[in-house]
């Protein structure tokens, strides 16, 4: 059985990770804001995966067992908050929108020195205010518990461009499309098309972080055309894939 590393206090610091590097499963007694100023960060728990480019941050509640994975060269900014301080009132991980002001506050707060000065306490207070006002983004790729659903999701994870219908996938795993459709809603809280779109966007962020051309990303992830991919990406993240690389290296 894999031992879960336990760190009582969630550190506030800046950390760099090479592309493809990972931080094994661990947990903190404190809450943590995890923000990638450069690269794309993925966090995995037993409830699923969250992915965040430089316009998003991930909230990790105290006690949550989670692992990190870097896509592209990662500049990670970690903000630890006591378990008694929960500006988001969230008990599960979540993805937050990071606007220009919140970004600068996170960058400033995670830089040394970390002394308990009046100036730093004021900075922390403004940071907490901005976190409370930050819109939450429903970018979560939930993990299934049903074995038939796990089989379908594994097929699509292996090839996000697989365009087979739910009925065709069901025939592969021994379940009807009606049963699978019900399971997607009951087990994952979303429809099959919604989950597949989330998976494709997740994979697209990873490929863009690895400097794969936009057209190739669209093809690899299963969109019918580059323009269709750009449209979905813009609606999800507020900017195009072409400008995404500038934002993640900003």
Could you state, in order of their start, the residue ranges of all structural domains in the chain? 5-140, 144-248
pLDDT value for 51: 87
pLDDT value for 138: 67
pLDDT value for 1: 36
Q: Which two tokens stand for residue 211?
A: 């400097």
pLDDT value for 244: 64
Q: If the chain, 250 residues long, is cut into consecutive pieces of 10 residues, what is the mean pLDDT of each piece?
A: 70 90 92 92 90 88 93 91 90 90 96 91 95 83 93 96 96 96 95 96 91 95 96 89 62
Type and span of the H or E element at 26: strand 22-28
Q: Does domain 5-140 have CATH number 2.60.120.810?
A: yes
Q: Does domain 144-248 have CATH number 1.10.260.40?
A: no
CB atoms within 10 A of CB 60: 27
**Are the C-beta atoms of 120 and 114 separated by less than 8 Å?**
yes
pLDDT value for 249: 47
pLDDT value for 209: 87
Residue 245 has φ and ψ, to the nearest 5°, of: -65, -35
Q: Which two tokens stand for residue 104?
A: 């600068």
**Are the C-beta atoms of 70 and 39 separated by less than 8 Å?**
yes
pLDDT value for 131: 92
Q: What is the DSSP string of 194-237?
A: HHHHHHHHHHHHHHHHTT--HHHHHHHHT-SSHHHHHHHHHHHH
pTM of the shown model:
0.84
Q: Which of 206, 250, 225 is nearest to 70 (CA)?
A: 206
């Amino acid at each position: 059985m894999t031992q879960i590393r336990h760190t009582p206090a969630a550190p506030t610091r800046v950390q760099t990770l090479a592309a493809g590097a990972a931080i094994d499963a661990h947990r903190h007694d404190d809450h943590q804001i995890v923000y990638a100023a450069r690269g794309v960060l993925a966090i995995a728990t037993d409830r699923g995966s969250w992915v965040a480019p430089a316009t998003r941050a991930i909230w990790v509640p105290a006690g949550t067992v989670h692992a990190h994975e870097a896509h592209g060269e990662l500049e990670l900014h970690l903000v630890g908050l006591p378990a008694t301080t929960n500006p988001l009132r969230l008990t599960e991980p979540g993805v937050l929108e990071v606007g220009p002001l919140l970004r600068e506050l996170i960058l400033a707060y995670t830089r040394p020195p970390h002394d308990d000065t009046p100036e730093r306490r004021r900075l922390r207070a403004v940071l907490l205010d901005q976190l409370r006002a930050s819109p939450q983004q429903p970018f979560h790729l939930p993990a299934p518990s049903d074995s038939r659903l796990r089989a379908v999701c594994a097929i699509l994870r292996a090839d996000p461009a697989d365009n087979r219908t739910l009925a065709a996938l069901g025939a592969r795993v021994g379940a009807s499309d009606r049963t699978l459709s019900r399971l997607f809603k009951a087990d994952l809280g979303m429809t099959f098309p919604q989950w597949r779109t989330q998976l494709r966007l997740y994979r697209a962020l990873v490929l863009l972080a690895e400097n794969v051309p936009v057209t190739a990303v669209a093809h690899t992830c299963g969109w019918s055309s580059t323009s269709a991919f750009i449209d979905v990406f813009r609606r999800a993240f507020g900017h195009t894939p072409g400008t995404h690389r500038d934002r993640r290296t900003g």
